C-alpha cells in the first residue's frame, strides 16, 4: 500500500514537472511565432497529461490492487491523454499588435488559462467516469455478497432443521 510519504513524493514530483514545463515553455517565448506557441502548448498539454496519468499509475502500482484495476487504469490513461484539440493564434476577430508586449503576454496568459481549463476538464470527466465504474463495481460486489449470504443463510437453516430432526429422533 502506498504510504502518505510516497503519495506526497508523487505529488511533489508532478508539481515540479509542471513548473519545469512552464519554465521551458517561457524560454525564448518572445522569439516564437504564434503558430510555434500554439504547437508548443499542444505538446505541453500532451506531456502534462501523460505525466499526470503516470503519477496516478505510480500510486496504483505502489498499492495492493486487483488485476481488474490495471484495465481500469489503462482506460483512465486513454481518457486523460486523449488530445483535446489545437490552440489558435489570435484571428481576425481578436487581432493584437505583436509589437506591443502587453497584448502578447495577455494572449499567452489566455492560452495558459485554456491549457489549464482543458487539463481540469479532462480529469473532471475521468473522475466522473471512475465514480460510475466504482459504483457499478461495488453494486456487483454487493449483489455477489448478498448471493453468498443467502446461500450461507439457507445452509444454516438446513443444518438447523437437520439437527432438530436428529434431536427429536
Average pLDDT, the chain: 80
pLDDT over threshold 90, residue 125: yes
Contact between 89 and 38 under an 8 Å Cβ cutoff? The reply is yes
Sequence spans of domains, the chain: 4-133
Contact between 117 and 125 under an 8 Å Cβ cutoff? The reply is no
Task: Report the C-alpha gap between 48 and 24 in whole angstroms.
Answer: 13
| Interval 96-117: pLDDT, tens | 555 556 687 888 888 889 999 9
Contact between 45 and 86 under an 8 Å Cβ cutoff? The reply is no
Count Cβ atoms below 10 Å from residue 52 Cβ, excluding itself. Answer: 20
Residues 35-44: b if buried by 16+ CB within 10 A, e if exposed: eebbebbeeb
Phi, psi of 28 (to 5 degrees): 60, 30
pTM over 0.85: no
Please compute the mean of the pLDDT values over residues 105-133 and round it to a whole number. 90
| Interval 49-95: pLDDT, tens | 888 888 777 766 665 555 567 788 888 889 988 888 888 776 555 55
- Window from 9-13, 23-27, 30-34, 152-156 with minimum mean pLDDT: 9-13
Amino acid at each position: 500500500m502506498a504510504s502518505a510519504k510516497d503519495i506526497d513524493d508523487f505529488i511533489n514530483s508532478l508539481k515540479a514537472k509542471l513548473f519545469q514545463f512552464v519554465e521551458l515553455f517561457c524560454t525564448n517565448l518572445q522569439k516564437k511565432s504564434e503558430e510555434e506557441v500554439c504547437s508548443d502548448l499542444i505538446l505541453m498539454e500532451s506531456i502534462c497529461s501523460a505525466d499526470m496519468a503516470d503519477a496516478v499509475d505510480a500510486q496504483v502500482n505502489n498499492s495492493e490492487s486487483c488485476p481488474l484495476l490495471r484495465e481500469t487504469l489503462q482506460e483512465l490513461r486513454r481518457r486523460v491523454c486523449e488530445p483535446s484539440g489545437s490552440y489558435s493564434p489570435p484571428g481576425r476577430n481578436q487581432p493584437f499588435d505583436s509589437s506591443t508586449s502587453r497584448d502578447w503576454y495577455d494572449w499567452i496568459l489566455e492560452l495558459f488559462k485554456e491549457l489549464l481549463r482543458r487539463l481540469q476538464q479532462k480529469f473532471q470527466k475521468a473522475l466522473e467516469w471512475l465514480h460510475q465504474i466504482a459504483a457499478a463495481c461495488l453494486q456487483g460486489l454487493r449483489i455477489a455478497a448478498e448471493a453468498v449470504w443467502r446461500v450461507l443463510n439457507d445452509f444454516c437453516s438446513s443444518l438447523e432443521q437437520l439437527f432438530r430432526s436428529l434431536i427429536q429422533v
